[in-house]
Amino acid sequence: MLAQILASLVDGILLGFVYGLAAMGLSLIWGVMRVINLSHGAIMALGMFGTYLLFTHLGLNPYLAILLMAPASLLFGFLVYGVAVHRIINAPYLSSLLATFAVNMMVIGIGTAVFTTSLYNVDFSLGTVRAGVLALPGTRLTAALAALLITAALYLFLYRTRPGKAIRAVANNRAAAELMSIPSAQVLALSFGIGTMLAALAGGLITTFFPFTILSGSGYQSKSFVICVLGGLGNPLGALLGGLILGAMEGLIPIALPVSWVPVVEFTLFVLILLIRPSGLLGART
Amino acid sequence: MILQVEQVSKRFGGLQALQDVSFTLPEGQILGLIGPNGAGKTTMFNVISGVYPPESGRVIFRGEDITARPPYEIARRGIARTHQVVRPLNELTVRQNVMVGACFGRERLSYTAAARIADEVLGRVGLAERADQLAGSLNVAQKKRLELARALASRPYLLLLDEVLAGLNPAEVASMLDLLRQIRDEGVTILMIEHVMQAVMNVSDYVIVLDYGKKIAEGTPREVANDPRVIEAYLGDPKLAAGLLEGREEG
Amino acid sequence: MKPWRQPGFWLPLLLVLVGGGVALVLRKDTLREMMFTLLMYVALASSLNILMGYTGYVNFGHIVFFGLGGYTGFYLISQHGWHLIPAALAGGLASALLAALLGLAVLRLRGAYFALATIGINEAARAFVNNFGPFGGPTGLFVNFAVYREYGGAPQALWLTYTLMVLTTLIVVGLSYWIKNSRFGLGLLAIREDEDAAMVMGVRAPTAKTLAYVVSAFFPGIIGTLFFFKNGNVEPGDAFRLQMSIEVLVMIMLGGNGTILGPVLGAAAYERLRGYLLTSPLFKSLHLAFAGLALLLIVLFIPAGLIGWLRRRFPFLRRWLE
């Protein structure tokens, strides 16, 4: 019994790293521009299919495929920002919700036309690592490691480079940043691009151990919301921790309750946290 | 006494915005609340109108303790206010804006009665011909008058005016002061924050001075203007204070 | 201010009455089915408009009330042999009750936080019904054909359902006019524009918002019961599609947020457009992408929607286009 709990917990936490990575993108975009990106899930799905195509048709190693997708998804993020978000960045929040949802509809619409809604998978294995009672799939371990590395890179970028510091300045106070002649349009585009990239990368990592459809993104998007609220909206590192918490919950809840109750618990918790501490469990008090 | 403020304190983080401030307002007068920027005047309004609760102290209105009541309950008891930075309901018409005051203020009028009162009040502040325009399309001076109209339409006992004269030209100031005197003569008590010194000294029956969150003086305009603490804290220059009393505009 | 003398009042009602009445006169099943779906969206959009358009609270979980109210009504019909009319009312009341309880808590959140919470509520409700035994779990509930005997056969039952749908739509549209031109509605509009300023002016915002949420939730409960009764079954996947909440939201934006005619025209236009895209072979698989493109163009270029744009552009039409 204890071994089973431990196994579920480790399993969940490994998955949590990837969840956290996806949520980090959502959290970054919210933190910098107060936009809830409803195209997040669709972009994760794009990441999944991008990895799938590079793996199946070009025979690339999936991790190499994910690496190649990074710049492409960054550019895609710029595009989405330029076309759909920039014009309404100062409009009421309903506009940005609907604009990003429109992008979601377009991506899913075209995706469904091309791929239908049937199940795909990336047939790839790294074997199993055994540690005592634990048997860990290599792909999950690698994905967790990759998520950690990407998070570290993100933090180095945000705290050690000029554009990263500009992003933090704009997130902190856009008006003040503009007075200091930080070009806020470029910074916003860059943040949206990075947020998009993180979503696509997380999508790519997920393909190495779960099958997926073009619609899979929406489930992960909902999880990202839960994670962001757990970790504090607008706090990327909090998102990683939130991801770990959610992953652990997903590992542990099925021991006590039927698996189908997991989303009930997750979303009830989500609403409760929003009510009690809208800035998130780990977020700053405001 | 229509309003008693007793030992009110309010702090924002490390900033003590109000510290043990007490004063009372007799009914039917115009009271000036003055002080340098950041003295806590608007904070005082926010505490009275229920926007935020004070840490300590009490606010008593017409014999009833209204401390930390929600703003809508305070409004219904007969306190109306304007905002220093105007807050028109942009996508509603000017008439609808004023109707909100009439419908939800002290008299809680019906929709049709409110429409009638709104037109009457708009005529009074000189916005009658703009009644069907969207409030967002007014200029700043008109928006200030709209704020006043909204407050008046609620038929308050006590009117809190936050810098209604700022940005008006001398002729507009004069007509606004006439209007305020009329309102007072109808029995409404007015507490006004003002920076246009000549005007506030001219129209007020009594003046209260705040500085760094503390009340440093109160009295008739002449007493206050001659009070050395006020001159030091606020007017800076005794010559300027003397000038004020002679009715010249502040620097 | 007698409403029946205002074109802005009777124009939307007339549209619904004529559109809904044609099928009743011609007695054609295909037309009835088409109009049922159309009116359903008109009523859903108009009811959401009371919260979103008037009060300014964006609700991504409107469909929760459709699903939960529909489940309740359908449960009473299929498991307890209730007649459609009391069951539909019960569905509406169940939704209204849920809204009252939720509203007290969730409406404290402002702006995007409220929108996020409603997404969470939608997901939680779907997951809950999936697990809730009396509602049949993931497979849902069915009606026994014997049920139709009470109405004089299945066709009669379907026509009755349709007539009720027309009636419900008329009531929602009429009510949204009445609210907009009432003291209550004025308070809601003030909350939409500036909630803090509204409270300082005496608007009892927490109560007003909750009431708007309750009214807005009552109708989807009725509509859900009618819809699932017409279909003969209900399952969680159909009842809680977040997608559908957003479609209704798009319809409002298309026609004009906060207007009365807007949601009516927006719902009709969106629904017809979708019907066309779905049947045309060229657009069949891409219809979602086109709807997305249409939405993006509206949000970017005519955020006031069709009616809002017309009112701004041609002020003399305002009396007609409320």
C38 within a domain of the structure (yes/no) = yes
From A274-278, B52-56, C78-82, the region with the lowest mean pLDDT: A274-278
Model confidence over B27-64: pLDDT tens digits?
A: 999 999 988 888 899 999 999 999 989 999 999 999 99
Contact C190 B90 (CB under 8 A): no
- Residue-by-residue DSSP string for B31-99: EEEE-STTSSHHHHHHHHTTSS--SEEEEEETTEE-TT--HHHHHHTTEEE--SS----TTSBHHHHHH
What was the pLDDT predicted at B246?
A: 57
* Domains of chain B, earliest start first: 23-51+158-251 (3.40.50.300), 79-156 (no CATH)
Q: Between B197 and C78, where is the model more confident?
A: C78
Determine the Cα–Cα distance for residues A189 and A92; give it in Å rounded to an integer: 19
Q: Output B243 or C200, whichever has higher pLDDT.
A: C200
Supply φ then ψ for residue B16, to 5 degrees: -85, 95
Mean pLDDT, range A34-39, rounded to an integer: 90
Contact C120 A97 (CB under 8 A): no
C51 DSSP 8-state letter: I
Answer whether residue C255 is part of any domain: no
Instruction: Give yes or no for residue B249 having a pLDDT over 50.
Output: no
Q: What is the pLDDT of residues A73-92, one digit of tens each?
A: 999 999 999 999 999 988 88
CB C38 within 8 A of CB C263: no
Q: How far is C187 from chain B (nearest CA, A)?
A: 7
pLDDT at B248: 42
Kindly report, residue by residue over A91-110, the tens digit of the pLDDT: 888 888 889 989 998 999 99
Q: What is residue C120's predicted lDDT score, i.e. its pLDDT?
A: 87
Judge whether C203 is closer than 8 Å to chain B, CB to CB. yes
- Taking the C-alpha atoms of residue A63 and residue A208, their distance in angstroms, rounded to an integer, is 9
Neighboring chain B residues of C1 at a CB cutoff of 8 Å: 111-112, 115
> Over 70: is that where the pLDDT of C233 sits?
yes
For chain A, how big is the Rg over CA atoms in Å?
A: 19
Q: Which residues of C touch A (CB under 8 A)?
A: 52, 58, 105-106, 108-109, 111-113, 115-117, 119-121, 123-124, 126-128, 130-131, 138, 242, 246, 249-250, 253, 257, 285-293, 295-296, 299-300, 303
Residue B240 has pLDDT above 60, yes or no: no
Here the ipTM equals 0.90
Task: Report pTM.
Answer: 0.89
pLDDT higher for C322 or C173?
C173
Q: B touches which chains (3+ CB pairs under 8 A)? A: C
Contact A274 C117 (CB under 8 A): yes
pLDDT reported for residue B239: 57
Beta bridge partners of B15: B12
Q: How far apart are CA C316 and CA C296, in angstroms?
A: 29
Residue of A nearest to C58 (CA): A94
Distance of residue C203 Cα from the nearest chain B Cα, in angstroms: 6
Helices A236-256 and A262-276 pack at an angle, to 10 degrees, of 140
Residue B155 backbone dihedrals phi, psi, to 5 degrees: 50, 60
Cα dihedral C283, C286, C291, C296 sign: negative
pLDDT tens-digit map of B169-190: 888 888 889 999 999 999 999 9
Structural contact between residues A228 and A279, judged by C-beta atoms closer than 8 angstroms = no
A23: alpha, beta or left, given left = phi > 0 and alpha = psi -120 to 50?
alpha
Within a domain: C102: yes
Mean pLDDT of B5-11: 93
| pLDDT above 60: residue B251 | no
End-to-end CA separation in angstroms for chain C: 14
Distance between CA atoms of C223 and C91, rounded to whole angstroms?
9
Residue ranges in A90-235 assigned as alpha helix (H): 93-115, 138-160, 162-172, 174-179, 184-207, 216-231
Nearest by Cα to C176 from C16, C316, C63, C23? C16
Q: DSSP H helical segments within A34-61, as ranges?
A: 40-58
Distance CA A204, CA A209 (A): 10
pLDDT at A285 over 50: no
Main-chain phi, psi angles of B190, to 5 degrees: -125, 130
C-alpha triplet B114, B115, B119: angle, nearest 5°:
115
Contact in structure between A97 and C112 (CB atoms under 8 Å)? yes
Q: Which two tokens stand for residue C288?
A: 């979602």
| Euclidean distance between CA atoms C234 and B24, whole angstroms | 66
Phi, psi of B25 (to 5 degrees): -115, 120
If one compares C242 and A272, the residue with the highest pLDDT of the two is A272
Residue predicted with more confidence, B239 or C289: C289
Length of chain C measured in residues: 322
> For the segment C152-191, what is each residue's pLDDT rounded down to a tens digit?
888 899 999 999 999 999 999 999 999 999 999 999 999 9
How far is B184 from C290, CA to CA, in rounded Å? 62
> Does A136 score more than 80 pLDDT?
yes
pLDDT at residue A282 in the model: 61
Q: Which residues of A touch C127 (CB under 8 A)?
A: 260-264, 266-267
Contact C292 A105 (CB under 8 A): yes
Tell me the per-residue pLDDT of B73-126, one tens digit each, with 9 for 90 and over.
999 999 999 998 899 999 999 999 999 999 999 989 999 999 999 999 999 999
Chain A meets chain C (3+ C-beta pairs below 8 A): yes
Q: Domain A2-276's class?
A: mainly alpha
* DSSP bridge partners of B79: B158
- Is there a contact between C193 and B101 if contact means CB atoms under 8 Å apart? no
Contact B150 C201 (CB under 8 A): yes
Q: Do C201 and B110 touch (CB under 8 A)?
A: no
* Percent of chain B with pLDDT strictly greater than 70: 93
Task: Give the mean pLDDT of A22-30.
Answer: 93
Answer yes or no: is pLDDT of C96 > 90.
Answer: yes
Residue the block writes with tokens 């809190």: B160
**Per-residue pLDDT for A71 more than 90?**
yes
Q: How far apart are CA C127 and CA A268, in angstroms?
A: 10
What range defines the domain where residue C94 resides?
3-242
Residue C322's pLDDT band, with cuts at 50, 70 and 90, is: confident
- Phi then psi for residue C276, to 5 deg, are -65, -45
Instruction: Say yes or no for a CB contact (<8 Å) between B150 and C194.
Output: no
Write out the H or E segment, with its range, that includes residue C171. helix C154-180
Q: pLDDT-based confidence at A182, cuts 50/70/90?
A: confident
Rounded to an integer, the average pLDDT of C273-282 is 78
Is there contact between B and C if contact means ≥3 C-beta pairs under 8 Å?
yes
Q: B127 in the Ramachandran plot: left (φ > 0), alpha (ψ -120 to 50) or beta?
A: alpha
Does residue C178 fall inside a structural domain? yes
DSSP for C71-105, written as a single string: HHHHHHHHHH---HHHHHHHHHHHHHHHHHHHHHH
Domain boundaries defined on chain A: 2-276
Label residue A243 by pLDDT band (50, 70, 90).
very high
What mean pLDDT comes out for the span A257-271? 87
- For chain B, the residue count is 251
Q: By three-state DSSP, how is residue C287 classified? A: helix
Give the mean pLDDT of chain C: 90
